[in-house]
């Protein structure tokens, strides 16, 4: 994990060698994750993660008139969840997202509002943090584990910034973090097959400082 993070930092440093403008920001909001199907001969259920809080920080620099690069970190509350009919089982969990994004933004300097779109990639670390129990509801479909899984991640997003002063901006955005489903953390029971792709919609609002 340290090696991957160091590689992203080095890539960011190389791309910003000739940068003249830097941006630092912090954001907070929530997240809404998709569920995947959990199908077996015993019936059907859904596996996934409950909605939770999200907090992030980033450092960016301009690459040219319309593009900038950002290295970002998000802390995500990712409680694991299984659901079938009217029964639900849940297990404490968190996730950490580390990624580098290329951001396209409008350059209408006469306007206080600028729109942005972002694409990038990195990794997401899923961790089960709850207390394991001998009996777990819906264990016929899957098991919660107190472990972690590192998955590659695609980051997509869009939003806008609003100028509050010469250097301070309000920033609002929505991110979509796309990863393979972490079956090491929420493990299918024998004979049960989980869906493979997990999406995490993360709306956040915060402040950024540009100099």
Higher pLDDT, 2 or 143: 143
Mean pLDDT lowest among 20-24, 47-51, 75-79, 121-125: 20-24
Phi and psi (nearest 5°) for 185? -95, -45
Tokens for 69, please give them: 């690069």
Q: Which of 188, 170, 206, 201 is nearest to 41 (CA)?
A: 188
Cα–Cα nearest to 81, from 157, 156, 20, 142: 142
Three-state SS sequence of the chain: CHHHHHHHHHHHHHHCCCCCCEEEEEEEEEEEECCEEEEECCEEEEEEECCEEEEEEEEEEECCCCEEEEEEEEEEECCEEEEECCEEEEECEEEEEEEEEEEEECCCCCCCEEEEEEEEEEEEEEEECCCCCCCCCCCCCEEECCCEEEEEEEEEEEEEEEECCCCEEEEEEEEEEEEECCCCCEEECCCEEECCEEEEEEEEEEEEEEC
Q: Report all structural domains of the chain as residue ranges with CATH numbers, in order of start.
A: 2-210 (2.40.160.20)
The answer to whether residue 18 scores a pLDDT higher than 60 is: no
Average pLDDT value for residue range 155-172: 95
Q: Are 64 and 77 in contact (CB under 8 A)?
A: no
Pairing of strands 113-128, 142-144: unpaired
Q: What's the gap between Cα 93 and its chain centre? A: 14
Q: What is the distance of C-alpha 135 from the center of its chain? A: 31
The mean of the pLDDT values for the chain is 90
Q: What is the mean pLDDT of residues 198-207?
A: 97
How far apart are the C-alpha atoms of 201 and 144, rounded to whole Å? 23
Q: Give the pLDDT of residue 41.
A: 87
* pLDDT of amino acid 2: 54
Q: What percent of the chain has pLDDT over 90?
A: 76
Confidence of residue 19 (pLDDT cuts 50, 70, 90): very low
Least confident of 4-13, 66-75, 89-98, 103-112: 4-13
Least trusted range by pLDDT, from 83-87, 95-99, 194-198: 83-87
């Amino acid at each position: 994990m340290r090696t991957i993070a160091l590689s992203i930092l080095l890539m960011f440093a190389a791309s910003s060698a000739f940068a003249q403008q830097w941006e630092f920001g912090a954001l907070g909001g929530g997240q809404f994750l998709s569920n995947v199907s959990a199908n077996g001969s015993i019936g059907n259920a859904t596996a996934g993660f409950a909605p939770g809080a999200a907090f992030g920080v980033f450092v960016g620099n301009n690459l040219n008139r319309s593009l900038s690069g950002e290295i970002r970190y998000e802390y995500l509350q990712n409680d694991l969840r299984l659901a079938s009919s009217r029964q639900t089982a849940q297990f404490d969990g968190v996730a950490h997202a580390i990624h580098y994004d290329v951001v396209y933004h409008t350059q209408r300097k006469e306007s206080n509002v600028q729109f942005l779109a972002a694409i990038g990639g990195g990794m997401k670390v899923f961790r089960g943090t709850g207390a394991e129990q001998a009996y777990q509801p819906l264990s016929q479909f899957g098991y919660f584990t107190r472990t972690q899984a590192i998955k590659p991640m695609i980051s997509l997003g869009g939003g806008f910034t609003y100028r509050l002063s010469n250097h301070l901006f309000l920033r609002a955005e929505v991110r979509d973090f796309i990863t393979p489903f972490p079956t090491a953390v929420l493990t299918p029971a024998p004979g049960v097959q989980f869906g493979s792709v997990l999406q995490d919609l993360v709306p956040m609002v915060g402040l950024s400082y540009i100099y």
